[in-house]
Amino acid sequence: MTRDRLLALAPSLFAVLALVLWEVLVRALHVPIYLVPGPVAIVGAFLADPLGLLGALLSTLVVTFAALVVACVLGVALALAMAASPWARAAIQPWAVVLQVTPVVAIAPLIIVWVGDPFAALVVCATIVAFFPVFANTAEGLEAPPPALFDLFRLNGAGPLQTLFLLRLPAALHFFLAGLRISGGLSLVGAVVAEFVAGSGGFASGLAYRILEASYRLQIPRMFAALVLLAAAGVAINLGLGWFGRWVLRHRG
C-alpha cells in the first residue's frame, strides 16, 4: 500500500482508534453512563429508537433546506438590487450587516411569537443565519469582473441586461456557490438553534428538541446519538454542496 493511500485512510483509522480508546476508558474507569456514555451505548440508544431519531432529523433537514432556499432567493435578489443601483446598495448593505451580527438566539423568541406557524418561524430563524454568506458572496461576485470587461461591454453598446446575463451573473457563479456551501452549514445551525428556542415553546419534532427532551430525562446516550446525527448531517450538507458546486462549474457552457 502506498504512502498516499495510508494518508487518505489516516482520518478513518484515527477515528476508529479514538472510538476504541473511548469505549475502553469508559469501561475501565467505570464512568457512569449519564455522564459519558461509550460508543456502544450511543449506538444502542440509536438502535432503540431509530425511526424516532431519523424522523426528527428529517424534520430538521426540511427546515434547513427550506431556509437555504429562501436565503438563496433573498440573498441573490438583494445582491442583484445592489448591483443595479447605488441607492439600493446604500440602503441594503448596513442592514444586512446588522442582520448578520445580531445573534439569532436573541431574536428567535420574538420571531416565534410574531410568526404564528411554528414551521415558518423556524424557517425564518434559520434563514436569518444562513442569509449573509450567500448574499455577501453573490454581491461581491457581481462586481468581480475587471473594469476592462465592463469597458468592453460599453464599447459594444451592451445594455444593463446584457451586462448582467453575459458578464455579472456568470462571474458571480462561483462566488455564489462558495457562499452557498457556507450558508448550507449555517442553515442547519440556524434550524437547530431555532428548534431549541421553539422547543420550550411547545413545537416538538426536530432533532434539537429530541436533544432537549433527552437531556431532561437524563438519557445521555440518546443525546449523543442525536448529536452524532446532527454532525453527520452537517458534514453531508457541506460535502454535498461542495460536490454540487463543482458539478455546476464543470457543466456550465
Least separation in angstroms between CB 34 and another protein? 56
What the block records as the C-alpha cell of 132 is: 449573509
Which is nearer to another protein, 162 or 215 (by Cβ)?
162
What is the closest distance, in whole angstroms, from the C-beta atom of residue 141 to another protein in the complex?
A: 12
Cβ proximity to another protein: between 124 and 177 the closer is: 177
Pick from 137, 138, 130: nearest CA to 100: 130
Cβ nearer to another protein, comparing 116 with 147: 147
Q: What is the 3-state secondary structure (H, E, C) of the chain?
A: CCHHHHHHHHHHHHHHHHHHHHHHHHHHCCCCCCCCCCHHHHHHHHHHCHHHHHHHHHHHHHHHHHHHHHHHHHHHHHHHHHHHCHHHHHHHHHHHHHHHHCCHHHHHHHHHHHCCCHHHHHHHHHHHHHHHHHHHHHHHHHCCCCHHHHHHHHHCCCCHHHHHHHHHHHHHHHHHHHHHHHHHHHHHHHHHHHHHHHHCCCCCCCHHHHHHHHHHCCCHHHHHHHHHHHHHHHHHHHHHHHHHHHHHHHHCC
- State the Cα–Cα distance between residues 202 and 48, nearest whole angstrom: 24
Cell numbers at residue 233, please? 448531517
Residue 72 CB, nearest approach to another protein (Å): 20
Applying CB under 8 A, the residues found at the interface with another protein are 146, 148-149, 151-158, 162, 166-167, 170, 173, 252
Question: 11 vs 86, which CB is nearer to another protein?
Answer: 86
Taking the complex as a whole, how short is the minimal distance between the CB of residue 145 and another protein, in angstroms? 8
Task: Please identify, using beta-carbon distances, which residue of 168 and 181 lies nearer to another protein.
Answer: 168
CB of 181 to another protein, least distance (A): 19
- Tell me how far, at minimum, the Cβ of 16 lies from another protein, in Å: 41
| 91 versus 152: smaller Cβ distance to another protein | 152
